[in-house]
Amino acid sequence: MKTVLITGGASGIGLATARRLARTMRVVIVDRDGARANEAARALNAEGASAFAYAADVTKSDEVAAMMAQAARDAGPIHAIFCNAGVSIKQPVHKMSEADWDIMIKTHVKGVFLCAKAVLPQMCERRDGVIVSTGSDYSVCGKADGAAYAAAKTAIYSLTKSLALEFAPYGIRCNSVGPGPIETPMLLAGRTEEEWAPLRAARAERVPMGRLGRPEEVAAVVDFLISDRSSYITGQIIHPNGAQISW
């Protein structure tokens, strides 16, 4: 059984992906929220899966390196990694603090860099591996009041393309999934269902398919990108987005 490691795996898209992949793979759930990561792994194991959980902050190189080494010891060689941890801080540029800007860039861009750097030596040695990162529709278009988010997601896409070129000779594939609006705790941003219901309808109207996406619909794309069904796809971004953007 191959092993997949998922960052931001305790919630939303990462958790849905962990659930889906746990049917066929050993799953390592990594999140800065260690309690929720543990809870997710426990629930999967109760259903017969082979899941592990680690607390780590993807912006911290020492935590990422230690977690990666421990995960490989516990769960075996890492065949695939889904670099998915993310946060959303939205502000107009002239009101955004430097500290918030740094959090956005560090979590998304440095987070993918550190995780890729930590896992690549073992992938290169085995000449086998898949890296999938979570971009966004905003990897390829701008976002008013979301410049840091869009800049970070564009950088993730760029990093993914460079990784694909650099590691293709080792048989390692690197792709991005670029979701449109997906109903997760990030999109709800702490709102109650009552507060969210009218916003959901307004947000859905802006999507040509007329609805928001489900985390499971992103997980299906990640599953495809990790599997051999996408064996000749690398350096690409695939958008499960209800046609919110097409380019």
Active site residues: 149
Closest CB 126 distance from ligand NAI, rounded Å: 25
Our finding on whether 7 is near ligand NAI (CB under 6 A) is yes
Our finding on whether 242 is near ligand NAI (CB under 6 A) is no
Range 92-131, binding ligand NAI (CB under 6 A): 107, 111
Our finding on whether 146 is near ligand NAI (CB under 6 A) is no
For 42, counting Cβ atoms within 10 Å of its Cβ (0-12 exposed, 13-18 middle, 19+ buried), the class is: exposed
Query: Nearer to ligand NAI by C-beta: 129 or 135?
Result: 135
Integer-rounded Cα Rg, in Å, for the chain is 17
For residue 137, which of 7, 11, 246 has the smallest C-alpha distance?
A: 246
**What is the secondary structure of 106-144 as a DSSP string?**
IIIIIHHHHHHHHHHHHHHHHT-EEEEEE--GGGTS--T
Our finding on whether 3 is near ligand NAI (CB under 6 A) is no
**What is the secondary structure of 27-92 as a DSSP string?**
EEEEES-HHHHHHHHHHHHHTT--EEEEE--TT-HHHHHHHHHHHHHHH-SEEEEEE---------
Query: Nearer to ligand NAI by C-beta: 57 or 223?
Result: 57
Closest CB 170 distance from ligand NAI, rounded Å: 26
Pick the piece of the chain touching ligand NAI (CB under 6 A) from 19-27, 45-53, 160-168, 174-182.
Answer: 174-182
Closest CB 232 distance from ligand NAI, rounded Å: 25
Pick the piece of the chain touching ligand NAI (CB under 6 A) from 2-10, 163-171, 195-203, 224-232.
Answer: 2-10
Our finding on whether 139 is near ligand NAI (CB under 6 A) is no
Our finding on whether 66 is near ligand NAI (CB under 6 A) is no
For residue 196, which of 243, 204, 88 has the smallest C-alpha distance?
A: 204
Query: Nearer to ligand NAI by C-beta: 186 or 233?
Result: 186
Looking at 20, 31, 163, 242, which residue binds ligand NAI (CB under 6 A)? 31
Our finding on whether 134 is near ligand NAI (CB under 6 A) is yes
Q: What phi and psi, each to the nearest 5 degrees, are found at residue 7?
A: -90, 150
Query: Nearer to ligand NAI by C-beta: 13 or 71?
Result: 13
Neighbours of 233 (CB within 10 A): 14
First to last CA, the chain: 37
Our finding on whether 59 is near ligand NAI (CB under 6 A) is yes
For residue 14, which of 114, 133, 123, 105 has the smallest C-alpha distance?
A: 133
Query: Which residue's entry shows tokens 């629930």?
Result: 43
Query: Which residue's entry shows tokens 């889906």?
Result: 20
Residues that bind ligand NAI (CB under 6 A): 7-8, 10-14, 31-33, 57-59, 84-87, 107, 111, 134, 136, 179, 181-182, 184-187
